[in-house]
Amino acid sequence: MERYYNNNSPKSEQPEPYGERKSAVAENITTLGATNPPTAEQSNIYCMTIIGQVEGHVVLPPQNKTTKYEHLIPQLVAAEQNQRIEGMLVILNTVGGDVEAGLAIAEMISSLSKPTVTLVLGGGHSIGVPIAVSSDYSFIAETATMTIHPIRLTGMVIGVPQTFEYLDKMQERVIRFVLAHSRITEDKFKELMFKTGELTRDIGTTVIGPEAVRYGLIDAVGGVGEAIKELNRRIEERRETGVKPQRGVAH
């Protein structure tokens, strides 16, 4: 089909062919599922999401929903340096992933000088557990779950004592971090981690929101509203005292 333009009009003013025009509204609907998504440009809270699988040293297949740890580390550094950012909200819905990458993210969150709150929505499984407890105060949705299990490997494994010793040391790092950043006891955490007969892979435990709080793994059951309210309270307390509020203590 031929297309005709007014030759007297400048080229920049000539209409685009039908079907090739795409408004900003249509682009927002396609990309974000909303006509005009809300923005928080002036907010003093930085929200960081950890979705899907935590991707570490190995690139995962393109069909996997992943969060790349090399993307998160610069965000955390930037939030720490930005004077306008006074607190960080970390939202998790992750199946786990690379152990060292997950621990690196958890260590960085726990070492921020600004108040931090984590919120587990949907799931915070495997290496998502240390990330979930790394903040100053943690929330979990009532229907969200967390899977606690020993470290597992996929692919070829060299069956020598050094390999198993390395795995044992890495697992101990995860256990020590979780114990240091939550109220769960070592006996209870190891009991959940090594429980048999509950999961498909036979070893480990899945806990639901209120159970995670009862065990002392997560501080409270709540959603976005409660998480932001607690974070704002901690920001206000830090403004007044000049000191970061104590981990795990709420009013």
Q: Computed over its alpha carbons, how large is the radius of gyration of the chain?
A: 23
Dump the DSSP string for 145-201. Answer: EEEE------S----SHHHHHHHHHHHHHHHHHHHHTSS--HHHHHHHHT-BSSSTT
191: tokens are 């009991």
Question: C-alpha dihedral over 55, 48, 181, 208, to 10 degrees?
Answer: -80
- Strand 205-208 and strand 220-221: the pairing is unpaired
Residue in 46, 57, 209, 42 with CA at minimum distance from that of residue 123 = 209
The verdict on whether 71 is a catalytic residue reads no
Of 125, 149, 181, 182, the catalytic one is 149
236 vs 239: CA distance, rounded Å: 5
13 vs 37: CA distance, rounded Å: 29
The verdict on whether 126 is a catalytic residue reads yes
Of 126, 134, 135, 138, the catalytic one is 126
177: tokens are 């971090």
Q: Which residues are designated catalytic?
A: 126, 149
